[in-house]
Amino acid sequence: MKATQIHQYGDNSVLENVEIPLPKILPNQVLVHLKASSVNPVDYKIRSGFLSGQLNKPFPFTMGWEGAGIITEVGKETNLYNKGDEVMVMPNFMQGGTYAEYVAVNEDEIMPKPKSIHFTEAATLPFSLGTAYTTLIEDADIKKGQKILIHGAGGAVGQMAVQIAKHKGLFVIGTATGEKIQELQDLGIDRVIDYAATDFSTELNDLDVILDLVGGPTLAKSYALVKTGGVIISTTQPPSTSELEKYKISGKMTITRMEANKFNEVIQWVEEGKITVKKPQIYDLSNAREALSAVEKRQSKSKVVFEMD
Ligand SMILES: NC(=O)c1ccc[n+]([C@@H]2O[C@H](COP(=O)([O-])OP(=O)(O)OC[C@H]3O[C@@H](n4cnc5c(N)ncnc54)[C@H](OP(=O)(O)O)[C@@H]3O)[C@@H](O)[C@H]2O)c1
């Protein structure tokens, strides 16, 4: 099968298009014939070696941690899915392997694909929807009536988080710029602050929840805006313990967790059209270097997806 692998860390020139045998499944895994797979910011963090301390993967390995396709083989110890099922996958970081025509994935790292959307759109969902769900529902424990600020609301995770928070009845504020401001207004967000024009920290206070999808100075300026007892969840770095104590708030860095059936409620919202999935930008797997470069240089207007035959 066709796959894109790396044999060493580095810039995009380390990505190699190769022909390799189909992966062999373990008893707790299924084999998925991928129809589409997605590129995420974490891909270039792994490719560059930035995460090599936490993620000690042996070379060579196939890139990619998200996709959608059809199950062609099921392991002896699996019982949730059958051959022919249409699914979305998010293999754990040690496994990965979705920059390829087939991937072996643990059964609990699969979600059923909503029938209402194509594989190309479905391939963008596990990471974005899964992260938005894990941060908001599990970690921030959001409640109706709360006021939430979402940094990076225009991105893949952000747009899912905005929609989940709105459906849960929160007052939702987001930071974004350019065309993404209108996109967020179309999704029903209550207020957008253009981060390129306005300093959000002079505009807001008394927030119940901040979801930080940006990090750095954006996170540093956020602590003072949360009311006592509130919470900051970041996907990019652990919040500062001293700042959390100073403002009497809680906080953590989320690592997205997959679990069988966990996302059923939000997947149903996609099925019913209550959550809109943005059209991705399509690349061929043979152009993986260009695709990852577009994500790394923030040149893509939406999520980047490889469409497979
Ligand atoms: N810990 C985990 O498990 C986990 C899971 C998923 C994602 N993540 C991380 O979470 C982050 C977001 O992921 P994603 O997939 O949503 O990425 P994405 O699609 O690239 O979105 C990031 C968004 O942030 C915006 N942005 C950049 N600087 C900003 C600023 N100063 N203020 C407000 N918005 C700003 C970008 O806007 P522009 O259009 O201006 O570039 C873009 O819309 C990434 O760092 C990713 O690695 C972590």
Please report which confidence band the pLDDT of residue 55 belongs to, taking 50, 70 and 90 as the band edges: confident
CA dihedral sign of residues 55, 58, 63, 65? negative
If you measure from the C-alpha of residue 154 to the centroid of ligand 1, how many angstroms do you get, rounded to a whole number? 8
Residue minimizing CA distance to atom 4 of ligand 1: 235
Tokens representing residue 141 in the block: 């424990």
Q: For ligand 1, say whether the CB of 151 is within 6 Å of any of its atoms.
A: yes
Beta-carbon count within 10 A of 284 CB: 13
Domain with CATH 3.90.180.10 in the chain: 2-124+277-307
**Can you tell me the distance from the alpha carbon of 69 to that of 101, in angstroms, rounded to the nearest whole number?**
9
Nearest ligand 1 atom, CA 256: 3
Residue closest to 90 by CA, chosen among 45, 38, 47: 38
The ligand 1 atom at the shortest distance from the C-alpha of residue 177 is 40
Give the residue, by CA position, lying nearest to ligand 1 atom 15. 156
pLDDT beyond 90 at 103: yes
pLDDT, averaged across the chain: 96
156-167 vs 125-133: helix crossing angle, rounded to 10: 50
Numbered ranges of CATH 3.40.50.720 in the chain: 127-253
Average pLDDT over residues 50-66: 93
97 lines ligand 1 (CB under 6 A): no
Q: Is 47 in the pocket of ligand 1 (CB under 6 A)?
A: no
Alpha-carbon distance 34 to 304, whole Å? 15
The pLDDT score that the predictor gives to residue 19 is: 98
Ligand 1 center from residue 26 Cα (angstroms): 34
User: Encoding tokens for residue 70?
Assistant: 């059809």
| Residue 120 Cβ contacting ligand 1 at under 6 Å | no
Q: Using the predicted structure, report yes or no on whether residue 76 has a pLDDT greater than 90.
A: yes
How close are the terminal C-alpha atoms of the chain, in Å?
A: 11
Torsion of CA 79, 80, 86, 91, to 10 degrees: -90
For the sheet with 207-212, list strands across it. 191-194, 171-176, 147-151, 207-212, 226-234, 250-253
Out of 45, 65, 235, 258, mutate this one to test ligand 1's pocket (max ligand atoms within 8 Å of CB): namely: 235
Whether 99 lines ligand 1, by a CB cut-off of 6 Å, is no
Verify whether ligand 1 is closer than 6 Å to residue 40 (CB atom).
yes
Q: What is the pLDDT of residue 256?
A: 87
Query: What's the pLDDT at 190?
Result: 98
Query: What was the pLDDT predicted at 258?
Result: 84
Asked whether 186 and 204 are in contact (CB, 8 A), the reply is no
- Residues written for the chain: 309
- Ligand 1 centroid from CA 235, angstroms: 9
The predicted pLDDT at position 54 comes to: 86
Q: How many CA atoms lie within 13 A of 119 on its CB side?
A: 19
- DSSP H helical ranges for 40-136: 41-47, 119-122, 125-133
The residue written with tokens 């509130």 in the block is: 230
Cβ of 157 less than 6 Å from ligand 1? yes
Q: Is 152 in the pocket of ligand 1 (CB under 6 A)?
A: yes
Order of strands, edge to edge, in the sheet holding 15-19?
15-19, 2-6, 61-62
- DSSP state letter for 165: H
The C-alpha atoms of residue 167 and residue 255 are separated, in whole angstroms, by: 23
Q: Assess whether pLDDT exceeds 90 at residue 260.
A: no
- Give the tens place of pLDDT for each residue, 104-152: 999 999 999 999 999 999 999 999 999 999 999 999 999 999 999 999 9
Q: What is the CATH number of domain 2-124+277-307?
A: 3.90.180.10
Residue 167 alpha carbon to ligand 1 centre in Å: 22
pLDDT at residue number 257 = 80
pLDDT range class, residue 56, cuts 50, 70, 90: confident
Average pLDDT value for residue range 152-165: 97
Partner residues linked to 3 by β-bridges: 18, 100
Name the β-bridge partners of 5: 16, 62
Of the listed ranges 28-42, 176-190, 203-217, 249-263, the one predicted with least confidence: 249-263
CA of 41 to the centre of ligand 1 (A): 8
Does the domain at 127-253 match CATH 3.40.50.720? Answer given as yes
